[in-house]
Amino acid sequence: MKAVMYLRKSRMEELSNEEETLERHKKSLTEFAKTNKISIIKIYEEVVSGDTLYSRPQMLQLLADVEANKYDAVLCMDIDRLGRSSMSDQGVILETLKQNDTKIITPRKFYDLNNDIDETYSEFESFMARQELKIIKRRLHTGIKRTIKDGGYIANAPYGYDKIYKDKIPTLAINEDEAVFVRMIFDMYVNQGIGSLTIAETLNSLGARPRRSDKFGRTSIVAILKNQVYIGKIVWDKKKHIKKGTKNNTKHITIYNKPEQWTVVDGLHEPIIDKELFESAQEILKNRYHPPYYKGTVENPLAGLVKCGNCGRTMQRQYMHRGERGEWETILCMNKGCIPSAKLAYVEESILHFLYDEMNNIAVELKTEQRPKKDITLLEAALDATEKEISTAKQQRSRLHDLLEQGVYDIPTFTERSKALEEKLATLQEQATAQHDAIKKAQGTNKLKMYKKIKSVLQAYETADAQKRNMMLKSIIREIVYKKEQKSKPHDFALSISFKDL
């Protein structure tokens, strides 16, 4: 009998090491197969939850192989290891095995799904497994609620804290290496009146790094400013996640709850920020919000700048409303279905990061090129001579056609001399381009002018309104081409930014 082994860690074993669990099961099933003379030709291992069939790649591959009639049986620790999710998911698994006459073997029982008694028994066990899963979920949910009400923190530790346990309850301990930057963020924002983008760039220049990205940005700074964990609070039930499985993929839908539905309790952890400073930050954040209606002035800082990478149309600002999730600004191509949209704040932040990087690169180039300015008289004379040669060559090219028409040149002679002349012209034009570049490099004025212009824009940007921001960006940027793939993540877009010739 050709059989495969399917291993999956159950929810009851989530606190144990999955490798140890699967290895223990593998050893038990291997011994069982040896004793019963069952030939194991492949092993499928899975450590994901059994909630949704279509989020389990190994099971999907197993079912595909079963449909190809590769195996006679599936060996597993218990029938609920195959899955105990919805009735429809379990029906797919059992029906696939039945139609292809593939047996289920466990150390406790042999199942032939084409036998009425075995099929009924397997369906009954699957039903009991689903009921057990519901009970486990309720217990887990109750345990989480209890931990939250006791002041425990069960999510990933936020920036400025480390995860610890106190009397077996998960909580947080201050990470002083990061907490110093958290205090700096609130002090700069509230007491010094510095904007979130400038704060982000300051932290990046000081070597601070967030937990899940390469550098701080405006959105990560604002998220820290809004997080009540820094005043010793635990906030839960802000949102809930729903998984919807299809045959092709599993969609994760997030629903944002209203503030009155949140659970807010005092945490066991020590605060990093005092309450008065935190509330001052919230007031500033609230007052900097721009309401979604036209005021007679430009409200989009990127107006007229961003072009769709697919159709070339100018992209527009639009407010999105998703029920209880509230509103936010997006940058959108008005050609319906042309390209996925992105949050305007993400695109704006990416542009500003690009400008900061470009300014710093120019500063490095200027520093390495600091030397007495060259006399460009000879360079200009050489360029003038080259341009005269180009003009003469073009006149010669024109006379070639006259000589051909007059019969002075035959066609082979005309072709030969025309080719030589075109090659000479191409060489001269390349030479002129190189001479132009040499003059610009010797002058060094363009880079310095660009550096000063970008720096002035970035210094004034944070405190400017949308209309002034738009004017400042247009003073240095000619065009921004936006590209984004379908079904990509919110931050996964590409910008191609071209500067004006200053």
214: left (phi over 0), alpha (psi -120 to 50) or beta: alpha
337: left (phi over 0), alpha (psi -120 to 50) or beta: left
Residue-level length of the chain:
502
Distances (CA, A) of 412 to 357, 397, 404, 424, 466: 56, 15, 10, 19, 66
**Would you state the pLDDT for residue 175?**
94
- What is the number of alpha carbons within 13 Å of residue 324 lying toward its C-beta? 11
- Classify residue 187 by burial, with Cβ atoms within 10 Å: 0-12, 13-18, 19+: middle
Candidates 340, 387, 374; CA nearest to 494 is 340
Query: Which amino acid is located at 383 in the chain?
Result: L
Distance CA(164)–CA(174), nearest Å, equals 10
The DSSP-derived string for 456-470 is: HHHHHHTTS-HHHHH
Three-state DSSP state, 239: strand
Residues 6+ apart with CB under 8 A from 297: 465, 466, 467
CATH class (in words) of the domain with range 2-149: alpha beta
Query: H helices within 170-300, ranges in order?
Result: 176-186, 196-205, 218-226, 275-287
Query: Which amino acid is located at 70 in the chain?
Result: K
Distance CA(488)–CA(84), nearest Å, equals 31
Candidates 158, 170, 270, 164; CA nearest to 225 is 158
- List the structure tokens of 494: 């590409």
- Classify residue 347 by burial, with Cβ atoms within 10 Å: 0-12, 13-18, 19+: buried
- Classify residue 272 by burial, with Cβ atoms within 10 Å: 0-12, 13-18, 19+: buried
Taking the domains of the chain in order of start, what are their residue ranges?
A: 2-149, 161-287, 306-367+449-499, 374-443
Homologous superfamily assigned to 161-287? Putative Large Serine Recombinase; Chain B, Domain 2 (3.90.1750.20)
Distance CA(328)–CA(380), nearest Å, equals 55
DSSP letter at 432? Answer: H
Residues of the chain below pLDDT 70: 10-19, 48-51, 84-86, 241-254, 287-298, 320-327, 369-375, 401, 404-409, 411, 414, 440-446, 502
Round the CA-based radius of gyration of the chain to a whole number and report it: 34
- List the structure tokens of 254: 């997030």
Cβ of 17: how many Cβ atoms within 10 Å?
11
Instruction: Report CA 44 to chain centroid distance, whole Å.
Output: 31
- 221-257 per-residue burial string, b: 16 or more CB within 10 A, e: under 16: bbebbebbbbbbbbbbeeeeeeeebeeeeeeeeeeee
Contact 11, 49 (CB under 8 A): yes
- What is the number of alpha carbons within 13 Å of residue 404 lying toward its C-beta? 14
Residues 6+ apart with CB under 8 A from 351: 302, 473, 477, 480, 495, 497
Distances (CA, A) of 182 to 93, 126, 162, 253: 51, 50, 14, 31
Phi and psi, residue 209, nearest 5° = -135, 135
